[in-house]
Structures are given as C-alpha cells and as structure tokens.
Amino acid sequence: MQVSSTPMRPDRRNVLALIAGGAALIPLRPALALSADAAQAMIQKTVSEVYAVINSGQPPAQLYRQFEAIFARRADVDIIARTVLGPAARQAGPAQYAAYEQAFQGYMGRKYGKRFREFVGGRVEVGAARPLKSYFAVRSTAYLNGRAPMEVEWHVSDKGGGIRFFNIIIEGVNMLASERSEMSAMLAQNRGDLAALTAALRQAG
C-alpha cells in the first residue's frame, strides 16, 4: 500500500441543511477552529486504517466489522444518521433513535466495506485540504487496478467535539444525498415505522 499525505464533525445541536441537488451539507455555525493540516492528517489516518483492514486477509464478515469500527471512530455517525433520516429523526424518542443509529452504523460499515474491497492492490493519494464554508474538503485520488483513477472528496469538521468526516463524494456521487434518498425509500417501504426501518437496516448493506 502506498498512501500519500491529506480531512469532519459538525455541532450536534445544529442541523445540517442539504443544499438543493444534494451537492453539500453546511453546518449552520460559521466558526471554524479546525486547521487544514489537522483535517488532512485525519483523512490520512482514515485511509491508512482502511488499507490495513483491506490488506489483513480477513474474511468478509470480519472485514465489515472492522470497517464499521473505522466508521464509528472517524465519522460523525450521529450527524450523518440524523441527516439521512430527515424529519423522522426529530420525531423519534431517544431509545428508538439510538437503536436506529446503531443499526445505521452497521449498515454503513457493511455497505461501504464492500465498496472499499475494490481498493485491494491499489493505493490512495491524499491531497491538501481546503476550507469550504465552515468545514474542510480534502481531496484524494484512488488508483485501482485496471481502472481509471477515482476522485474521492471528504468533508471534515470538528463541530461535534472531535475531528471527523461527515460526508464523502466519490466520483461526484454525494454519500449524504444518496443515503438520504435510500433511507427515505426504505422508510416509505416500512410505512414510516422507524422500528421496522431499524430492523431492515440490520439486514441490509
């Protein structure tokens, strides 16, 4: 593995607004204490951890648990889970929401773990971070065997008390926007029942 250098977590009290077309999420507070170097370094660590799991030779089930652990450690799971669930997150009770968030975390670990398995034998070069509204965008390039280079952009913030990413854009596909659409469809399939959605998430991904 070869990884070059390059960063997200917004305030949990603020709701991030999904811009029309799902192009970006913007924390409502404009203050920015996070540095470009710190954001870049966090994504560098994340990429290194992902590759350590990819190259570990573990069976898929164990790989996905490891990817879930990375997601829990490096992503702002709460803000991602709330954003993709939408209004239903505000209507849920604490215990009901906590169960959904835990199921969502496992779902993301499995879903993106399968995607990251495509990176076996490749490398990711992490570039510089740039300020974007009240967070940082960190560009990286994935070089996969037999495929054209793939651009991956990470959105990073420290609003939730730590430096974490809250969005990934892979080849122009916005994770938050696509997962919000997916969650809306799954919730509709379960007739708006969050408990049923939570059960479905435990089996999906």
70: which 2 tokens? 């990375």
| Residue 157 and residue 76 in contact, taking contact as beta carbons nearer than 8 Å | yes
Cα–Cα distance, 177 to 189 (Å, whole number) = 19
| Residue 125 and residue 51 in contact, taking contact as beta carbons nearer than 8 Å | no
Total tally of structural domains belonging to the chain: 1
What's the pLDDT at 13?
A: 36
For the chain, where are the E strands, in sequence order? 3-4, 17-18, 25-26, 123-132, 135-143, 150-157, 164-170, 173-174
Residue 72 φ/ψ, nearest 5 degrees: -65, -35
Question: Does the pTM of the predicted model rise above 0.85?
Answer: no
Residue 22: domain span: 3-203
pLDDT along the chain (205 residues), means of 10: 41 36 39 83 95 86 92 95 96 96 95 79 91 94 88 92 93 94 96 96 87
| Residue 80 and residue 39 in contact, taking contact as beta carbons nearer than 8 Å | no
Provide the CATH number for the domain around residue 14: 3.10.450.710
What's the pLDDT at 121?
A: 77
CA-based nearest residue to 138, from 1, 31, 4 = 4
